[in-house]
Structure 1
Amino acid sequence: MSYADTLFINMCRDILENGTSTEGEKVRPKWPDGTPAYTIKQFGVVNRYDLSKEFPALTLRKTFVKSAVDELLWIWQRKSNNIHDLKSHVWDEWADEDGSIGKAYGYQMRVKHQYAEGMMDQVDRVIYDLKNNPYSRRIMTNIYVHQDLHEMNLYPCAYSMTFNVTKKPGHEKLVLNGILNQRSQDILAANNWNVVQYSVLLYMLAQVCGMEPGEFVHVIADAHIYDRHIPIIEELIKRPVYDAPKFSMNPDVKDFYEFTLDDFKIEDYKAGEQIKDIPIAI
């Protein structure tokens, strides 16, 4: 069975059995009908995925890997904050009439900052350090910019990546590891979506920097299951599980900005029936 399934099932059981409820409290999210969207939540969930062993896509139900990667490229490569540059509709609820989500996500990635080595945005700074100073303990991004929060249509959920390079005995290449910090996550709608995205990011950066992918660590401050998602989760985690799918990228791409969706391939992906029309709290 996929290790990603094991982690997901154990996490969901822990939230349902040991989490705390926000029912009756003052909460921001609402269902489309205006009803408060309460959750069962667990604080400080940490999941670790060894990308050298398998690609962490759920098999309980299929994660649309290409759509997840497209959103990743939208933020990290195209550095866009406009939904017209995105193929999926996951951001439609938070876009204005022009398609902008404000000074969030891709907007922050394209802001240039002054460094000793010159002006660079956060993505280019990561790539520069991985290539020139891989053992630095300062290779990170952060898009939770307080001065711009009032101009963001949604505060960033996945807000920080910290990269750390190690070396395995007997391996010629260095190993790229990463930690994603997430302040909040809707477990049913977004957990594996984000896991897949940032795992792919490690694969991409490792390839263009001459490394191999290592461990992806996912830290969630507020891991929650919405009240209307509970029966869906309870059914989902009882399903059969399968072996992890195979993931590969075009090995000829050596420039981070030259990756296209056609360069990513997912094979042998056997998964349970898709869950349709999941209600999304806004």
Structure 2
Amino acid sequence: MSYADQVFISMCEDILENGTSTEGEKVRPHWPDGEPAYTIKQFGVVNRYDLSKEFPALTLRKTYIKSAIDELLWIWQKKSNNVNDLKSHIWDEWADEDGSIGKAYGYQMGVKHQYKEGMMDQVDRVIYDLKHNPYSRRIMTNIYVHQDLHEMNLYPCAYSVTFNVTKKPGHDKLTLNAILNQRSQDILAANNWNVVQYAALVYMMAQVCDMEPGELVHVIADAHIYDRHIPIIKEMIKRETYPAPKVTLNPEVKDFYEFTTDDFKIEDYQAGEQIKDIPIAI
């Protein structure tokens, strides 16, 4: 099986066996029919993926890798907060009549800040530091901006990335590692989607900064399985698994802003039957 499958199965089993139920408590999320959306949750889940060994895509069911990357580029490359710039419709629920999700996600990545070296947004600052001061311990982004929360249609779930550079003995290139911090995650709907996105981000950043991909560490404060997802998860983690797909980048792209989903080549992706019509809590 892929390592991502191992991590996912172990995490789900731990949540189901040892998690805390919110049933009967006052909760914000609800189902489209108006019923409260309760969860079984685990606090402080930390998963590690070695991107130098394999791309962390689930095979228990297929993750639409290019759609996930398209959303990542919408936030990090286009720095957009408008769903009309996104190919999928996963954000439509939180968009206004003009397609805006407010001062959230891509909007925050595009805000320019004053640094000693000049005005830069958070993405450009990351690239600048990785190229000019790779051993800095200050290479990070944060889109959970309290002063703008009231103008966000959804508070950021994956809100911060910290990049850290190491060097492997005998390797000519530096190794790029990253920590993705997430305050909350719907494990069935979004876990591998986010893992795939930020693995792809490490791949892209490493290539444009002449490094090699290292570890992605995923920290989830509130890792939860919704009540209506429990039977789906139980069935899914018993499925047959397959080796991880091979995912490679177009080596010709050296500018982060030139990447497209077509620059990702996905080979040998075998996965279980897709799960359709997953109910999403809102």
Do they superpose with TM above 0.5?
Answer: yes
How far is 1:252 from its partner?
A: 0.3
Q: Secondary structure at the match of 1:168?
A: coil
Give the alignment's Cα RMSD to 1 decimal. 0.3
Q: Secondary structure at the match of 2:131?
A: helix
Q: Secondary structure at the match of 2:49?
A: strand
Q: Secondary structure at the match of 1:74?
A: helix
The 5 A counterparts of 1:179-258 are 179-258=179-258
Whole-Å separation in 2 of the counterparts to 1:66 and 1:38: 31
The 5 A counterparts of 1:145-156 are 145-156=145-156
How far is 1:261 from its partner?
A: 1.4
How far is 1:260 from its partner?
A: 1.1
Q: Secondary structure at the match of 1:124?
A: helix
Q: Secondary structure at the match of 2:179?
A: strand
AA partner of residue 155 (structure 2)? Y
Whole-Å separation in 2 of the counterparts to 1:26 and 1:36: 8
Whole-Å separation in 2 of the counterparts to 1:14 and 1:270: 26
Query: What is the percentage of aligned positions where both structures have the same residue?
Result: 87
- Give the gaps of 5 or more residues in structure 1: none
Indicate the residue corresponding to 1:30 in structure 2.
30
Whole-Å separation in 2 of the counterparts to 1:72 and 1:173: 25
AA partner of residue 204 (structure 1)? M
The 5 A counterparts of 1:1-282 are 1-282=1-282
How far is 1:158 from its partner?
A: 0.0
**When the two structures are superposed, what TM-score results if normalisation uses the length of structure 1?**
1.00
How far is 1:263 from its partner?
A: 0.6
Q: Secondary structure at the match of 2:156?
A: coil
How far is 1:225 from its partner?
A: 0.1
How far is 1:262 from its partner?
A: 1.1
How far is 1:177 from its partner?
A: 0.0
Whole-Å separation in 1 of the counterparts to 2:265 and 2:68: 13
AA partner of residue 53 (structure 2)? K
Whole-Å separation in 2 of the counterparts to 1:252 and 1:5: 31
Q: Secondary structure at the match of 2:70?
A: helix
Deviations 1:206-230 (A, max 9, x none): 0000000000000000000000000
How far is 1:124 from its partner?
A: 0.1
How far is 1:278 from its partner?
A: 0.1
**When the two structures are superposed, what TM-score results if normalisation uses the length of structure 2?**
1.00
How far is 1:153 from its partner?
A: 0.2
AA partner of residue 237 (structure 1)? I
Whole-Å separation in 2 of the counterparts to 1:260 and 1:28: 36
Whole-Å separation in 2 of the counterparts to 1:90 and 1:171: 40
Whole-Å separation in 1 of the counterparts to 2:238 and 2:195: 21
Q: Secondary structure at the match of 1:9?
A: helix
AA partner of residue 201 (structure 1)? L
Q: Secondary structure at the match of 2:72?
A: helix
How far is 1:31 from its partner?
A: 0.1
How far is 1:51 from its partner?
A: 0.3
Whole-Å separation in 1 of the counterparts to 2:45 and 2:259: 32
How far is 1:129 from its partner?
A: 0.1
- Give the gaps of 5 or more residues in structure 2: none
Q: Secondary structure at the match of 2:176?
A: strand
Whole-Å separation in 2 of the counterparts to 1:220 and 1:51: 19
Whole-Å separation in 1 of the counterparts to 2:150 and 2:266: 39
Deviations 1:24-72 (A, max 9, x none): 0000001000000000000000000000000000000000000000000
